[in-house]
Amino acid sequence: MIRFGIIGFGLHAVKRLMPGFAEAKQCKVTALSRRDMAKAKASADQYKIPLAFDSAEALCQSPEVDAVLVTTPNAMHLQDVLTALHHRKPVLCEKPMGTSGNECRKMVEAARKADLPLGVAQVFRFEESTARLRERIAAGQIGNPIFARSEFSFPATPEHPRQWLNDASIAGGGPVADIGVHCVDALRYILQDEVTRVGAQGHSDNRSGTVESSCAMTLEFSRGTIAAVMVSFRSDYRTPIEFVGESGVLRGDNALNVERPVTIELRRGWDLVETEIVSNAGAYGRQVDAFAATVEGHARFPVPGEEGWQNQQILDAAYRSMKSRKVEEVPLILRP
């Protein structure tokens, strides 16, 4: 049983991670950290977590922690990951992995040097919906994928608990960084292909601070698929995804959500020829169990740090494109 320590125990830990750990079979949470010790102790008491700390350093020093899950604001990921690795702790880092490709490179290189597992928590890779779309496309159900579309939006109201979302120095960007990374990673995973070029157009408003409030991106994949990604902090929660091929279409409304069942549709021409209903409810539990198996040496975590680094290369290109108003190249990272 792998014992996790959660660094930055906030909204995400409460809403997603603790329900996931409750379902997990190979791991549990034995420690948490928050910047305020009183709040850390209160959270530990509420969730029956044995140890509470007020710093990443103190948590990582604990012999009661086998692995660390970093869930702090994005700009803190680099230091928290390096701290965990320094103390010989395997690390699972929340997405986006950093605020720049250079930060992600430093994390990956540190993990390689320490010979420790480093994973990125792209939870959609553990969903049934993405798994089935990937399998169906690989099986040739729609022929060669020509177009793809992934959208993600939610209302980041002034009352949203993550007030730092509109501060580029902390978040690294707006919805492109926060939820666009999910769309990008899901498309890469399902298509089993890499993005080579990105074009992006963002929009800011009087509430978006130093980041974009909405953005439309065009991704060019190496095998010819062209994908549209649209993200926003202003519209209702929605996560539709669609793949248009030479001989059919696969799609699902809100196909990336974890709360409700997902209906995957296969269409040919005007006709709906097949539907499949799947559930993503167990994704968070599967994610931490998969990392626990890696820590125990039983398997390789399916989303290593290199995947987070490659995603960040795409995000970086999108932000360059917003400024240059040109299509930007996406460099492929060097893998061992």
Label residues 16-39 b or e (16+ Cβ within 10 Å = b): bbbebbeebebbbbbbbbbeeeee
Mean pLDDT score of the chain? 96
Q: 3-state class of 91 per DSSP?
A: strand
- DSSP letter at 335 equals -
Residue 336 has pLDDT above 80, yes or no: no
Strand order in the sheet with 27-33: 51-53, 27-33, 2-7, 67-70, 91-94, 118-121
Share of the chain above pLDDT 90, in %: 93
- 150-184 per-position pLDDT tens digit: 999 999 887 787 878 888 999 999 999 999 999 99
- 182-191 per-position pLDDT tens digit: 999 999 999 9
Confidence at residue 296, expressed as pLDDT on a 0 to 100 scale: 97
Confidence at residue 163, expressed as pLDDT on a 0 to 100 scale: 78
Residue 6 has pLDDT above 80, yes or no: yes
Domain residue ranges of the chain, discontinuous segments joined by +? 2-123+284-303, 127-280+313-329
User: Which secondary-structure segment (H or E) carries 130?
Assistant: helix 128-138
- Domain 127-280+313-329 CATH assignment equals 3.30.420.40: no
Confidence at residue 209, expressed as pLDDT on a 0 to 100 scale: 86
CA distance 334 to 287: 25
CATH topology for the 2-123+284-303 domain: Rossmann fold (3.40.50)
Cα-based distances in Å from 143 to 136, 158, 193, 234, 277: 10, 45, 15, 35, 22
In the chain, what is the greatest distance between 2 CA atoms, to the nearest angstrom? 60
- 186-221 per-position pLDDT tens digit: 999 999 999 999 999 999 998 888 899 999 999 999
Across residues 112-116, what is the average pLDDT? 98
Residue 86 has pLDDT above 90, yes or no: yes
Confidence at residue 334, expressed as pLDDT on a 0 to 100 scale: 79
Closest CA to 278 of 261, 257, 255, 260: 261
